[in-house]
Each structure stands twice: as structure tokens, then as C-alpha cells.
Amino acid sequence: MPKLKTHKGAQGRFHITSSGKIMRAKCGKSHLRRKKPARVKRLYGDMLPIHSADIARVKKILPYGIK
């Protein structure tokens, strides 16, 4: 069986925790951010778990990142 290639764009966008959860960042972090409230800007720093409908697709493009 040949080695599988990791999708390099997905490698930078997703983070896998030690428990195996796949985390993502929020979109819209940089553009037009000055006018947003401080509470909203703080939320952009958090990582969120991906939706359950996307788990299989992300696992396929990150074959070695999933436990």
C-alpha cells in the first residue's frame, strides 16, 4: 500500500488535539476587524471543533493526523 499524501492546505487550517478532536479557526479574522466589538474580536482567537458532517472529509485529506 503506498503512502497517502497530506493535503497541505488542510494541514495549515486544522489542528488535531491529543484526544483526537479536529479544531478549526473562525473565518473573517483580519478583514474589516477594527469596527467589530471587542467581544467579537476576542472570539476570533478561539479554535472551534469542526462540524460532525465534515469529519469524514477532513480525515481523508489528513490521513496521518488522526489517531
**CATH code given to domain 8-61:** 4.10.410.60
Reading the block at residue 40, the C-alpha cell is 467579537
Structural domain spans, the chain: 8-61
Q: What pLDDT is attached to residue 51?
A: 96
Q: Using CA atoms in the order 22, 26, 29, 34, what is the torsion angle rounded to 10 degrees?
A: -140
- The side-by-side arrangement of strands in the sheet containing 47-49 is 14-16, 22-25, 47-49
Q: In terms of pLDDT, which residue wins out, 27 or 23? A: 23
Find the mean pLDDT for residues 10-23.
Answer: 92
Q: What pLDDT is attached to residue 1?
A: 84
> The whole model's pTM is what?
0.78
> Using 50, 70 and 90 to split pLDDT, how confident is the model at 55?
very high
